[in-house]
Structure 1
Amino acid sequence: MSAQAPVTHRFDSRDPALIRTHLAASFGTPLRVRVGLDPPRLWQHRIDLGPVRLTQAAHCGDLHIDLAGPDALVICQAVTAPVVRTAAGERHRFAPGDVFVLAPPRHPCTVRWQAGSITTCVLDLDLLARVAGTAPAGPASPLRLAALGPAPPHLVRHWRTTTAYLREAVLGDPEAAGQPLVVGAAVRMVAAAALTVVTDAAVDDTTARDRRDAGVGTVRRALAFMERHAERNIRAADIAAAANVTPRAVQLAFRTHLDTTPMAHLRGIRLHRAHQDLLRADPERETVSRIALRWGFLSHSRFTARYRAAFGVPPSRTLYR
């Protein structure tokens, strides 16, 4: 349940063997690299966030990469490099600006990456299943990929906005990047955006058992768990597991009995914990922003708006009372 602090890797090499090893680590799968007539050179900046790896990479030359099939979802964006990818019997050409899935998870593919830059995001399948609410624990359910071609423009904008926010607002702020609740929320945000970009239209997987389990007992168990662990990077799947039901059931229970979602209620608990910290804080040593970050609120303006709505005054009034 703990969020992993960001770990940064930088790479710059002309050695084909080192390039192959580094790309294999980035994609999380064995691969073979074939180079063109020009000697290759690869630059790469990768940030590991536990179940998510974000990479910005550029190279000169012409790389042909045969991948065994990542046990993950890989979303790519061709920034300045044309890319040709063959996977699952389909061949697609991607122009700069296109966003696409590298291949169905665990399926081999072949990529021709021409000179230029791309970005990739590698997401663990277990994370995606938990964010989607299809598995409280255990093996992830198969993803329903909408298509292997370029994502439509409105989803490309959504993906770019989400990943840019993660890079700039979270990872670009050392104080925010050091807060487990902030990093955990950012990881789930990117996973949710990935599901929106690449999967088929949402399917209602609610079962008869989920509906039976969506009672007040489930709500009570979930609330008790959230109150005990609000300072930890808990997810909807953790709340469901504590209540001994599926994520679908706990979502339905909160909608039915509280007209909210588990994670929205958890944010409310954390808002009240932040209020208590502000009441106890020494204004000479603490700031509103630092306390907000501690409780997972990255946006100062949103935190202020929520705080004012809940307590009738801005958080600064509480701190400097």
Structure 2
Amino acid sequence: MEQVVELTDLDAAQEVLSAAYGAMRIDGGRERSWMRMASQVLGPIRFDEVIGRIGLAVTSEPQLSYIFGHLDGGRVHYRANGDEHLVSPGEVFLTAKPGLPYSAAIDDPCAMLVVLDQPAIDAVVGRVHFSGCGAVSHLAAASWRSTCVHLRDHVLPVFEDEPLVVANATRLLVATTLATFPHSAPEEKASDRRDAHPLTVRRAIAFIENNAADDITAADIAHAARVSIRAIQLAFRRHLDTTPMAYLRRVRLSCADADLRAANGSVTAIAARWGYARPSVFAAHYRAAYGVSPSKILRSD
């Protein structure tokens, strides 16, 4: 559900922005200013759209989450971790890392902001550290924005009550964010290579097959196998030539096949139940695995 706040008072703007992004102080602004903020939540992700005819000087205390953004209009000039950043329309940005303060001068913003917690990122790939506040390329920036808009406008309104679709959407956004912003990935350790043995794979497979209907992450699978995320990835690649999440998708596709043969809902409903927002993608994956369309299986049974 979308929550919309419209403000013409700077004190109220400070209160709303502090609640959304962490305690901050607004040091100045223009008279007869106004700001509109619309928020939507998809699992651990929050999408904010901020539009205003307002000039602000903001000082933020250390924030709790990552705040990524795309500037459609206006100007943002901010200082984070000792570095100065000037954001122009059409650019993406990362304001600051969790635990670090920042200051900013904001003029007439029209921006899409994405608030993402560190645990949501760690659950997908392990601990990463973002080393830059801008995109690696214009193409990456455009891809990040289009992914965010798709998830916000097309996935969220339809599938917010489907946990596996939300989980897959989160992983898609995390992957796209990692492809867009410079970061350092966890280093491979000798213990990871040592732990990537068949017993690790067997533990992981048992966990996956027993919990395929739940929202489980790479971190959950690694924890069940008693190894690191890197070790579980190495183990699956070494012994099965796949990844833990690809194996999970295969198991869920098998569960969807069972639902189709039991006529347990429409193709669209079954696809969403097992994590597919797009029935066409589900149909393509199903056809590749079973050599027939899901609709034909449903009709035949």
TM over 0.5: yes
Unaligned runs of 5+ in 1: 1-6, 135-140
Partner residue in 1 for 2:210? 228
Q: Any idea what SS the aligned residue of 1:274 has?
A: helix
TM-score by length of 1: 0.88
Equivalent residues in 2 for 1:156-195, closer than 5 Å: 156-173=141-158, 176-195=159-178
Residues in 2 aligned to 1:34 and 1:243: alpha-carbon distance in whole angstroms: 51
Q: Secondary structure at the match of 1:320?
A: helix
Distance across 2 between alignment mates of 1:192 and 1:125: 14
Alignment-derived partner of residue 99 in structure 2 = 106
Task: Return the offset for 1:149.
Answer: 4.6
Letter in 1 for 2:51: A
Quote the offset at 1:150 in angstroms. Answer: 5.7
In the alignment, what sits opposite 1:23?
17
Maintained 8 Å contact 2:286/2:293: yes
Query: Is structure 2 residue 7 aligned with structure 1 residue 13?
Result: yes
Paired residue for 2:51, among 58, 61, 73? 58
User: Structure 1 vs Structure 2: percent identity of aligned residues?
Assistant: 36
**Which runs of structure 1 show a deviation greater than 6 angstroms over 4 or more consecutive aligned residues?**
none
RMSD: 1.7
CA contact (8 A) 2:39 2:49 kept: yes
In 2: Cα distance, 1:42 partner to 1:144 partner:
30
SS in 2 for 1:172: helix
Supply the distance in 2 between the matched residues of 1:221 and 1:38 (Cα, whole angstroms): 63
Q: How do 1:69-218 and structure 2 match up within 5 A? A: 69-134=62-127, 143-145=129-131, 147-149=132-134, 151-173=136-158, 176-200=159-183, 203=185, 205-218=187-200
Q: Distance in 2 between matches of 1:72 and 1:199?
A: 17
Deviation per CA, 1:275-295: give whole Å up to 9, x if none.
10011116xxx3101110000
1:50 CA drift (Å): 4.4
Instruction: Please list every run of 5 or more consecutive structure 2 residues that lacks an aligned counterpart in the other structure.
Output: none
Q: Is the 8 Å Cα contact of residues 40 and 63 (structure 1) preserved in structure 2?
A: no
Is the 8 Å Cα contact of residues 151 and 197 (structure 1) preserved in structure 2? yes
Cα distance in 2 for partners of 1:233, 1:90 equals: 38
- Residues 120-163 of structure 1: CA deviation (Å, up to 9, x unaligned): 111111222222223xxxxxx6x141x23565302201211221
Give yes or no for contact 2:201–2:232 (8 Å, CA) kept in 1: yes
- TM-score computed with the length of structure 2 as normaliser: 0.94
1:249 pairs with one of 231, 234, 238: 231
1:89 deviates by 2.1
Show the counterpart of 1:4.
none
Do the aligned partners of residues 150 and 133 (structure 1) sit closer, same or farther apart at CA in structure 2, a change above 3 Å counting?
closer
* 2:275 is the counterpart of 1:296: yes
d(CA) in 2 for partners of 1:50 and 1:35?
A: 35
Say yes or no: does 1:266 pair with 2:245: no
Cα deviation code 1:2-44 (max 9, x no counterpart): xxxxx532111212222112111221x1101133232321111
Which AA in structure 2 matches 1:289? T
Do the aligned partners of residues 57 and 320 (structure 1) sit closer, same or farther apart at CA in structure 2, a change above 3 Å counting?
Answer: same
